[in-house]
Amino acid sequence: MGDLETLRRMAGLATPMSLRVAVTLRLPDRLLDSDATADELAAELDLNPGALDLLLAHLATLGIVERTGVGYRTTALGANLTADADNGLAGLLDVNTAAGRADLAFVELAHSVRTGEAAYPQRYGQGFWEDLAEHPHLRESFDRQMTHRFRAEIPRFVAGFDWSRFESIVDVGGGQGDLLAAILAAHPHVRGHLLDLEPPAEFGEHERAQVTAGSFFDPLPANADAYLLVDILHNWDDEHAHRILARCAETGGRVLVIESVRPYTGFSLVMLIMFGGRDRTVDEYRALAEQHGLVLDGVTELTEQRSLLEFRKG
């Protein structure tokens, strides 16, 4: 393949958008166990048969579906895009989910490169978090995605760090509280406090847990031993990251930051277009925290993707 053809393939939008539309229409699910023609599918789904046939033909060149004697069928590769595959891909690609909708903001990447600001508001008229607050189905899909994203990593988070050192931990922006619940289960003497804009009320039913609806830009619950930030700071530019760390520093407790500290350029671009944020290195987190009197006390690698940075008040 020549250089020009390589560049054309790299730049083409036909394939990534075809995959997203196929998942959004649930085509891999529909064709998993029974063949169908484009005409049959179009009638079922109220689609244009000619346009659908073009989409299916392209999916066939990608190995997502295959032609059979009676239409199209999902391949073993395409089965990874079904909702039941339980690998998170369907939730990431469906344009009606929070993640799929956010990816479409990449069409405004030039705006982010010019300004350093998020592209999401440029496309949708408001920020990502405001969009989730206004559309419950987006919030639900985002929470589901986060639960899936951390499901395999949470046991390693719990085993890879000595949480027993603390009698009380506030999970700042902790979402559904899955990690905090796992920490409490592993350490019977630890008390937990979940803080988020819309935390699940049932989390507070745990005998050693408390729930507060609130923002990490406001004063945090006082008198805890440790304040935990999991994948929070990479969602924000430096200005907002400083505001979050300033609130943590006010408490006087240990600040535990779980993030990727080996930035991947593709994911950092996702953070840029969604939030105006980015992944950072250990030195960059150290520099942010130092401005609030927080001293980096240690770095613990929890998984291949994430490390825990522990800060104390200097």
Is the separation of the CB atoms in 256 and 310 below 8 Å?
A: yes
With respect to residue 268, please indicate whether it lies within any of the assigned structural domains.
no
- Domain count for the chain: 3
Q: How many CA atoms within 13 Å lie on the side-chain side of 221?
A: 21
Is the separation of the CB atoms in 183 and 190 below 8 Å?
A: yes
The answer to whether the Cα torsion of 79, 84, 86, 91 is positive or negative is: positive
Residues acting as catalytic residues: 234
What pLDDT does 1 receive? 66
Burial code (b: 16+ CB inside 10 Å, e: under 16) for 9-29 equals eeeeeeeeebbbbbbebbbbb
Whether residues 105 and 154 share a domain: the answer is no
Question: Could you tell me which of 48, 30, 49, 39 has the C-alpha nearest to residue 71?
Answer: 39
CATH number of the domain where residue 138 is located = 1.10.287.1350
With respect to residue 266, please indicate whether it lies within any of the assigned structural domains.
no
Greatest CA separation for the chain = 72
Which tokens belong to 194?
A: 């979940």
Range of the domain at 131: 88-144
Task: Mark the ranges of the chain whose per-residue pLDDT is less than 70.
Answer: 1
> Is this structure's pTM higher than 0.95?
no
Whether residues 97 and 55 share a domain: the answer is no
Which tokens belong to 272?
A: 């840029």
Residues 6+ apart with CB under 8 A from 303: 153, 156, 157, 160
Report strand pairing: 71-74 vs 168-172: unpaired
Is the separation of the CB atoms in 92 and 252 below 8 Å?
A: no
CATH number of the domain where residue 286 is located = 3.40.50.150
Do you know the residue count of the chain?
Answer: 314
Whether residues 108 and 250 share a domain: the answer is no
Separation of alpha carbons 153 and 157, rounded Å: 6
What pLDDT does 152 receive? 85
Whether residues 49 and 180 share a domain: the answer is no
